[in-house]
Amino acid sequence: MLFLAFASLTSAPLTDIRVPATDLGIGILVDATIIRGIAVPALIQLFGRANWWTSSWWSRLGNKQAAN
């Protein structure tokens, strides 16, 4: 939806509005497709169980909260 808002601004008469709107719209599309659609799932698959690793202090913090 935000992409559509920026896309509508690209038809503005002022170049000072069109250029940032175009850049932001392209940035949103790249983020949504390449980063969140391809890179993140690929890295999750690549890292496997290491995705869910936590440090020892974080584990201790979680155990203290569960005990209360």
Write the pLDDT tens digit of every residue in 7-58: 888 888 988 888 998 899 899 989 989 999 999 999 999 998 888 777 677 7
| Paired tokens of 19 | 């250029």
What pLDDT, on the 0 to 100 scale, is given for residue 6?
86
CA neighbor of 28 nearest in space, from 40, 15, 18, 37: 37
Neighbours of 21 (CB within 10 A): 18
What pLDDT, on the 0 to 100 scale, is given for residue 41?
94
3-class DSSP assignment, residue 1:
coil
What pLDDT, on the 0 to 100 scale, is given for residue 44?
92
Contacts for 18 with CB less than 8 Å, ≥ 6 apart? 9, 10, 11, 12
| Predicted confidence band of residue 64 (pLDDT cuts 50, 70, 90) | low
Measure the N-to-C terminal CA separation of the chain; round to a whole number of Å.
Answer: 43
